[in-house]
Chains A and B, each alone.
Chain A
């Protein structure tokens, strides 16, 4: 497929969370690993917003970090526009790096407090050697203008701005290398709702204007619903469902997706009936065998406790649940009349 910009195949990341060597020897413990992601595969098409949702421990930020090269995958492959991303090959990566950018969660930490806003925004321009001299200044002014600030703000320091304004600065910086793809890691979760609306609207406008492709990482289903074309739902490091955004909310396929939707507070006071949510996310160091969701699942079967369900195609995308696998088998075994 030519319209795929980013494809991720079998992405796995394990963290060594063992105690120091000496402690292990004395306490006779084995090495311990935390599996943040296991066998995650998805594709992002050009111009779309693909969202990854999940609660804490779902490994959504780990995926974001692997895609932009902040973390090395333990296994699996990431392809950007058909090219395998190998962050250890400097020269090839330099060209690729310019084409993707990242926006972070905390606008109070993502801007160096000792740098002027202009220098922060210009850093990618200098690093990739895109412009020099007075042109840089002009470009920074244009970018600031683009995100709703003024060119004069380039001379100020980050602490002079509010959270929303800082996130605008972060966006201007991300745009300065003229990327095609932006990873947005919880871009509004540190902001107040009225400011969140400004930032989300801005992100959409920029997407329309420049044909950007977004990977949106979020824990907030309403934000994801508002922004994304397609959504991947993560639970304990695995993708349990990928679906078209509109349909995911109407006909969730995986029991976890359903539970997640039921947990969202009902702001419309529609009085929709909801199944009460039960249980908590297990410790990712020691996840349950089989389907990780089985201890909380209302439809749990024997097979769920033993075997990790493979993804199957659904009406709206794909999902990994034995219930769906059973359905499919049944359909396949039905004699064709």
Chain B
């Protein structure tokens, strides 16, 4: 198998607090292949945004990577000096955040920001950079890009701003784009357009995407594979269609059942009892065990690690323990 573009191995992120160390990410492992869109879902506090922040080296102190490795195309990047990491951010990994206003500097025109980004990372003339910038804006669907490029961010609507941010993220032709809730602040009708743009333009340029969102619908529309996080741990990862239509981890099953859709007919939604534990109160064994409908004794004691399943899936659940299945035979 070829080396994946991004490989995360046993990533642990911790926050020291006055009442002890909180483990916000606990041994997360996944790969993103060349050109792949990996969706990352989970409820708030599950650690999906933290995973993104850890990869690009932007964890907010006192959060720190306390274990594991992150590899970008065979090069280890989790222990790089600040300056080197900064070169990778922007050049090799582009970022799109939820609020477009945090990614755009209100004091500079879109042209200035795009051209600066392009020229920081690629050796081209000012004129060439501007040409590229206009083409890029045009590509992300800004009407009259040649004229609007000299506008300031506040001249654009929310949806248009997010298009500009996507252009900015892709300006230096990165290999990976990390999009953290890129459509959460937008209206549905605008969200659909932004997802399309992001998907198309990344496919065109062969950039991989890590799409972080709480919205399973967005994942279904966009991603090739999906990783489901629960309480800082990976519950399940696999091809989108498989996970959505035939989830294996009881948490994913509950999650899918709890989403009202435009086609479902059930009078009541499936509900998972309780709430995700706080980081300072994660139960021993499987983190999901107090809410799980199929809990076994073992789940309360031993923590299941993600195990390979047919079809390139991994599920962290004792229900699918190979050792036990083979012992039964």
Is there any pair of Cβ atoms, one from A and one from B, under 8 angstroms apart in the complex?
yes
Q: Which stretch from A5-13, A87-95, A198-206 is at the chain B interface?
A: A198-206
Contacts of A132 in B (CB 8 A): none
With both chains docked as a complex, state the minimum distance between the C-beta of B284 and any C-beta of chain A, in angstroms. 21
A265 touches B221 (CB 8 A): yes
CB of A260 within 8 A of CB of B188, answer yes
* Partner among B43, B159, B240, B258 whose Cβ is within 8 Å of the Cβ of A280: B159
Identify the B interface with A (CB < 8 A).
Answer: 43-44, 157, 159-160, 187-193, 195-196, 214-218, 220-221, 240-241, 244-245, 254-255, 257-264, 268-273, 275-276
Cα distance, A198 to B270, chains bound together (Å): 8
Contacts of A264 in B (CB 8 A): 188, 217, 262
Residues of B within 8 A of A268 (CB): 261, 263
Interface of chain A residues 289 through 306 with chain B (CB within 8 A): none
A268: nearest chain-B partner, CB-CB: B263
Cα distance A249–B221 when bound, in Å?
20
A260 to B189, CA, bound (A): 6
The reply to whether the CB of A195 lies closer than 8 angstroms to some CB of chain B is yes
Of the stretches A17-25, A70-78, A121-129, A219-227, the one at the interface is A219-227
**What's the Cα separation between A193 and B284 when bound, in Å?**
25
Whether B241 lies near A193 (C-beta < 8 A) is: no
> Per-position contact with B for A202-214: 1 when CB-CB < 8 Å, else 0?
0010000000000
Tell me if A41 counts as interface (CB < 8 A to partner B): no
In the complex, which residues of chain B have a beta carbon less than 8 angstroms from the beta carbon of A1? none
Chain B proximity of A279: nearest CB distance (Å): 8
Q: A198–B216 Cα gap in the complex (Å)? A: 17
B269 with A197: CB separation less than 8 A: yes
* B268 interface neighbour in A201, A225, A249, Cβ under 8 Å: A201
Apart from the given pairs A55-B189, A267-B259, 8 other A-B contacts in the complex at a CB distance below 8 Å: A55-B188, A163-B44, A194-B254, A197-B270, A265-B215, A269-B244, A269-B245, A281-B187
Enumerate chain B residues within 8 angstroms of A225, measured Cβ to Cβ.
260, 262
**With contact pairs A194-B254, A197-B271, A269-B244 given, residues A263 and B188 touching in the complex (Cβ less than 8 Å):** yes
B216, A194: Cβ atoms closer than 8 Å: no
Cα A260 to Cα B272 with chains together (Å): 29
| B258 contacts A193, C-beta separation under 8 Å | yes
Expressed in whole angstroms, the Cα–Cα distance for A221 and B259 within the complex equals: 12
Contact A201 B189 (CB under 8 A): no
Distance (Å) between the CB of A67 and the closest chain B CB? 23
- In chain A, positions 260-275 with a C-beta closer than 8 Å to chain B are 260-270
Contacts A193-B214, A222-B260, A263-B188 known; A201 to B269 CB distance under 8 Å? yes
C-alpha spacing A64/B240, complex, angstroms:
38
A55 to B186, CA, bound (A): 9
A222's partner among B160, B241, B259 (CB-CB below 8 A) is B259
Do the beta carbons of B258 and A196 come within 8 Å of each other?
A: yes
Which 3 A-B pairs have CB atoms at the shortest separation, nearest pair first? A265-B217, A197-B258, A192-B43
Once A193-B214, A201-B269, A278-B193 are accepted as A-B contacts, the answer to whether A269 and B263 lie under 8 Å apart by CB is: no
| Pair A221/B254 contact, Cβ less than 8 Å | no
Considering the chains assembled together, what is the distance between the CA atoms of A162 and B191 in angstroms? 28
Residues A219 and B244 in contact, CB atoms below 8 Å apart: no
For A263, A264, A265, A280, the residue with the greatest tally of chain B CB atoms inside 10 Å of its CB is A265
CB-based contact B269/A265 at 8 Å: no
The smallest C-beta distance from A130 to any residue of chain B, in angstroms, reads 31
Whether a CB of chain B sits under 8 angstroms from the CB of A56 is: yes
Q: Is A133 an interface residue (CB 8 A)?
A: no
A335 at the B interface (CB under 8 A):
no
Among candidates A221, A249, A266, residue contacting B220 with C-beta atoms closer than 8 Å: A266
Q: Are A259 and B189 in contact (CB under 8 A)?
A: yes
Asked whether any CB of chain B lies closer than 8 Å to the CB of A165, the reply is yes
In the complex where A193-B255, A193-B258, A194-B254 touch, is A263 in contact with B192 (Cβ < 8 A)?
A: yes
**What are 21 A-B contacts with C-beta separation under 8 Å?**
A55-B187, A193-B255, A193-B258, A194-B254, A194-B255, A195-B275, A198-B272, A198-B273, A200-B269, A260-B189, A264-B188, A265-B192, A265-B215, A267-B244, A277-B189, A277-B190, A280-B157, A280-B159, A280-B189, A280-B190, A281-B189
| Chain A residue at minimal CB-CB distance from B193 | A277
**What is the minimal beta-carbon distance from A55 to any residue of chain B, in angstroms?**
4
Q: Which residue of B lies closest to A205 (CB)?
A: B268
Smallest CB separation, A103 vs chain B (Å):
18
Q: A192-B214, A193-B216, A194-B272 are in contact. Are A270 and B263 (CB under 8 A)?
A: yes
CB-based nearest A residue for B278:
A162
Asked whether, in the complex, the Cβ of A194 is within 8 Å of the Cβ of B43, the reply is yes
Write out the residue numbers on chain B whose beta carbons fall within 8 Å of the beta carbon of A194.
43, 254-255, 258, 271-272
Contact: A222 with B261, CB < 8 Å? Answer: yes
Nearest CB of chain B from residue A249's CB, rounded to whole Å: 6
CB distance from A276 to the nearest CB of B (A): 7
